Amino acid sequence: MDSLPDDIVSLRALAATALARVDVLEFEAARALAIKSGDDALIAAMKLEILKLRHELYGTRSERKSRLLDQLELQLEELEATAGEDEIKAEQAAAKTTDVQPFTRKKPVRKPFPDHLPRERTVLPSPTTCPCCGSDKLSKLGETVTETLESIPRQWKVLQTVREKFACRACEAIHQPPAPFHVIPRGLAGPSLLAMILFEKFGQHQPLNRQSERFAREGIDLSLSTLADLVGAATAALQPLLDLIDAHVMTAARLHGDDTTVPVLAKGKTDTGRIWVYVRDDRPFGADTAHAAAFRYSRDRRGEHPEKHLENFVGVLQADAFAGYNRLYAPDRKPGPITDALCWAHGRRKFFVLADIAANAAKGRHGKIPPPISPLAFEAVKRIDAVFDLERAINGKPPDDRLAARKEHVAPLVAELEAWMRAERAKLSRHNDVAKAMDYMLTRWGGFTRFLHDGRICMTNNCAERALRGIALGRKSWLFCGSDRGGQRAAAMYTLIVTAKMNDVDPQAWLADVLARIADIPQNRLHELLPWNWKAAQNIRKAA
């Protein structure tokens, strides 16, 4: 305190210097924190990318890797948000001092915005005279364009269709153009609005009551009952297209089949209904046929339902070991027996549960006593993963090439796996969990090895499970179907939306165009509206 000056001017100068130093220190601290946050986000992004690449290359223990990838993606999201927040704080700290340069976090190179987006140019006023000398002799050298992506809030409008009415002065007859077709009687909703409602409900899992509330906040009064009427009328209008997709799916030589639960409202409770799916996807063996999925609804899981769904199908059915399919495989079935091909992912999963080290470690961290890891289950997973590794190398090749590769490389591994399982099974009690997992495969070994004799057959039924994934996610949002008719409508719309997605088509844009055209297009040209044909026509139009 004795070294401080006595006069006010010197004290003020000293205080100003100290405050400037504080500003610099605050900036340096904020800058260090921003650098650390950016480095953490970069490290998380690199870890995620490395794990994804390893997952694509090796694909071992996919269940554990999927959970880890999901966790890392959430962690990366939080770290990126933290880094952005710290960067702003560092810039604010730099603005308080003129002695340091502002901090800018290193970011990945930004991809250019798509060319199809419209551009709106805003040209800032240019100087008319030179700020240095005052001369007005300025010549343009070029321009610097900064692009910013912007979203315009949804706009509503009312389309008026005017039909003028004329009277004949000679015969007093009255003439008026015929009313245009509307998907909904009296043209209450246009095709784009209908497509949005349908896709939000069945593609984005937003129930109609939530949509109605959101519309009301935007000044549009569409009650729940009105929206429900629109959904029912649109589903009926799309029925001809549904029939075409169903026919295309059922003419396949090989189908993936699966089902999942769906709660259905009943008196004072909810029943457990089922949504079934049958998928035609020939990409694994290099065919160029269109991909499609047909969904069905039923109140229960009795075997009579898949029998009715597949009453005219003859070919290969890839599915799990559900007993309800058994009568489809009967030799005396009419019009012919269906060949069963079982899913190795289901068989592997039973062993993986007994060998999941990560899950056991998690139970231990939460104070639970984890079951011991089974060496036999671990060995079974390793042997099955070796077969999967060989299968990935031939995915997408023609059936003959796949069959030849399987006979040469895959069949010996499968034979070794069978011999090992039968030898180890003989040493186990029938109540042992590993024995039950082995019995699941060994008692159905013909179905599990069917892929070794047909190059079109896949090892897994993952194609059908992917088609059902949206329903599994949506159940948490829409809770239940209101009735059996509601379940049938949901199955119809899932058929359209999932088929569009399988063909890389935007479901909402496709539905809007289909709803606008389906009434006027001749019956013999209805196939032009199928997603794969619609996409081809769109590509030709863009190229032209």
Q: What is the pLDDT of residue 469?
A: 87
Distance separating alpha carbons of residues 279 and 468, to the nearest angstrom: 10
Q: What is the pLDDT of residue 182?
A: 77
Q: Is the peptide bond before 398 cis (omega within 30 degrees of 0)?
A: no
> Mean pLDDT score of the chain, rounded to an integer?
83
Distance separating alpha carbons of residues 17 and 454, to the nearest angstrom: 83
Percentage with pLDDT > 70 across the chain = 81
Residue 404 has pLDDT above 60, yes or no: yes
Contact 484, 217 (CB under 8 A): no
Q: What is the 3-state secondary structure (H, E, C) of 197-257?
A: HHHHHHHCCCCHHHHHHHHHHCCCCCCHHHHHHHHHHHHHHCHHHHHHHHHHHHCCCEEEE
- Percentages of the chain per state (helix, strand, coil), in multiples of 5: 55, 10, 35
Q: Which of the two residues, 293 and 159, has the higher pLDDT score?
A: 293
Secondary structure class of 269 (helix, strand, coil): strand
Nearest to 399 by CA among 530, 508, 283: 283
Contact 76, 48 (CB under 8 A): yes
User: pLDDT tens digits, residue range 82-133?
Assistant: 666 666 666 666 666 655 555 455 555 567 878 888 888 888 888 888 888 8
Residue 305 has pLDDT above 70, yes or no: yes
Length reported for the chain: 544
Half-sphere exposure of 318 (CA within 13 A, CB side): 27
Q: Count the Cβ atoms, other than its own, within 10 Å of residue 205.
A: 16
Q: Which residues pair with 166 in a beta bridge?
A: 175
Distance separating alpha carbons of residues 28 and 25, to the nearest angstrom: 5
What average pLDDT does range 333-360 have in this prediction? 85
Q: How confident is the model at residue 61 (pLDDT cuts 50, 70, 90)?
A: very low
Q: Are strands 316-319 and 339-342 parallel, antiparallel or unpaired?
A: parallel
User: pLDDT tens digits, residue range 320-344?
Assistant: 999 999 999 999 998 889 999 999 9
Q: How confident is the model at residue 18 (pLDDT cuts 50, 70, 90)?
A: confident
Residue 216 is which amino acid?
Answer: A
Q: Where are the domains of the chain?
A: 9-95, 247-468
Cβ within 8 Å of residue 84, ≥6 positions away: none
Sign (positive/negative) of CA torsion 344, 346, 350, 355? positive
Cβ within 8 Å of residue 526, ≥6 positions away: 240, 241, 244, 518
User: pLDDT tens digits, residue range 478-513?
Assistant: 656 767 888 888 899 999 999 999 999 999 999 999
